[in-house]
Amino acid sequence: MNPDNFMVRAHLQHVERFKNAVSWDALSDSDIHEIENHIAGLPSQIETDEIEARFFDLSALRMQIALIEKDAGTFESTRKRVIEIAASLEEKDAIPAVKQQLEYLRAIQTTEFWECIDLAALEDLRIRLRGLVQFIDKSKRKIVYTNFEDEIISVREDEAIPMPKMTGKQYAKKVEDYLRGHQDEIAIQRLRNNQPLTPTDLQSLEKTLLSIGEDEGRRLLTSMLQIQEMPTLAHLVRRIVGMDRGAAKAAFATFLADRSLNAQQMRFVELVIDQLTARGFMEPAALYEAPFRGLHAGGPDELFAGKPNIIDGLFHTLEETLPRVMEA
């Protein structure tokens, strides 16, 4: 603290007293009162941390206190926010500081990390992540600033903190990682290649995805389908893994070979293939939305005016590329 600062100068005797490290060895209640009223609010010349780092410090402190006091509700709600922070940071692996902690960030999102958590591990977590939270996109930073009051209906005084449960975001990430990493499995191959699934394929795929969610697999999978507005499990998987480009081109081969189409009309067909490759499937109504609207403001009806067979064919072919399951 700068003694020439007019605010510091007004409390100089208190500042001088607590400059001495010995004064902090055995603080009395009156000492604490003096620090709170005369020193705590004074400006200092020490460079302060980013506000995001300090908010994360507060979250880590809440977890440590909750762990000591066996406050299961506070611990669990804060833990879930920390997992969301780790998941958001994992997406920033192009930043060197984040890349150094990438394995640790992934570990935080696992159940095993939290099984034997203690104060030392929470302090290590605070130190590792406090300098990284500033890299989270501003639109996502609410996970750092959120400060809800938890309402606990009943907690036994000596009740142990329950085993942590998987969050919906954590489950979705695990499902996506699994599907993208196992594209050689027969059911996923069939979906990517625009082939219908057998009932056995679907049952096997569902069983695998449920197992990822452990005891809450059914709830987590159902929630994921609802959040992503997918009508079936096959649609969800196709959306994540996409359609093989060769399969998409094969479905629209007739249009690609049609010499009567002009350059703009051919680009429209190629854009359909691009979208199927990236998004997995499309409803016919999507042909009237972006990015197709950018090719012609009047949509496919005006772009292919005078060629009703082409328009009908495009709609029919899109419907044929929707994920489907064979009847038992």
Q: Are 120 and 43 in contact (CB under 8 A)?
A: no
Q: Is 112 exposed, middle or buried (0-12, 13-18, 19+ CB in 10 A)?
A: exposed
What's the mean pLDDT in 95-100? 91
What is the percent of the chain where pLDDT is above 90? 56
Indicate whether 43 pLDDT > 90: no
Which element (helix H / strand E) includes 106? Answer: helix 102-108
Q: What contacts 24+ positions apart, CB below 8 Å, involve 211-220?
A: 212/171, 212/174, 212/175, 212/178, 213/166, 213/171, 214/111, 214/166, 216/165, 216/166, 220/166, 220/168, 220/171
In this predicted structure, what is the pLDDT of residue 91? 87
In this predicted structure, what is the pLDDT of residue 144? 45
Indicate whether 135 pLDDT > 50: yes
Cα–Cα dist 213/300, whole Å? 43
- pLDDT, tens digit, 9 for 90 and up, residues 169-207: 889 999 999 999 999 999 999 999 999 999 999 999 999
Indicate whether 277 pLDDT > 80: yes
**Residue 118 Cα distances to 66, 104, 124, 155, 287, angstroms:** 11, 16, 10, 20, 55
Domain chopping of the chain, boundaries: 6-38, 51-145, 168-241, 245-320
Indicate whether 159 pLDDT > 70: no
Q: Which residues, in sequence order, are CB contacts of 29 under 8 Å at separation 6+?
A: none
- Can you say whether the dihedral through the CA atoms of 116, 119, 120, 125 is positive or negative? positive
Cα–Cα dist 121/118, whole Å? 5
In this predicted structure, what is the pLDDT of residue 152? 57
∠ CA(13), CA(19), CA(20), 5° rounding? 110
For residue 297, what pLDDT band results from cuts at 50, 70 and 90?
Answer: confident
Q: Which residues, in sequence order, are CB contacts of 42 under 8 Å at separation 6+?
A: 1, 5, 7, 8, 11, 15
Indicate whether 217 pLDDT > 50: yes
In this predicted structure, what is the pLDDT of residue 139? 59
Could you give the dihedral angle defined by the CA atoms of residues 315, 227, 91 and 215, in that order, rounded to the nearest 10 degrees? -130
What's the mean pLDDT in 12-35? 90
More confident residue, 116 or 271: 271
Query: Which two structure tokens, joined as six digits, stand for 95?
Result: 């930043």
Indicate whether 145 pLDDT > 50: no
Cα–Cα dist 23/249, whole Å? 78
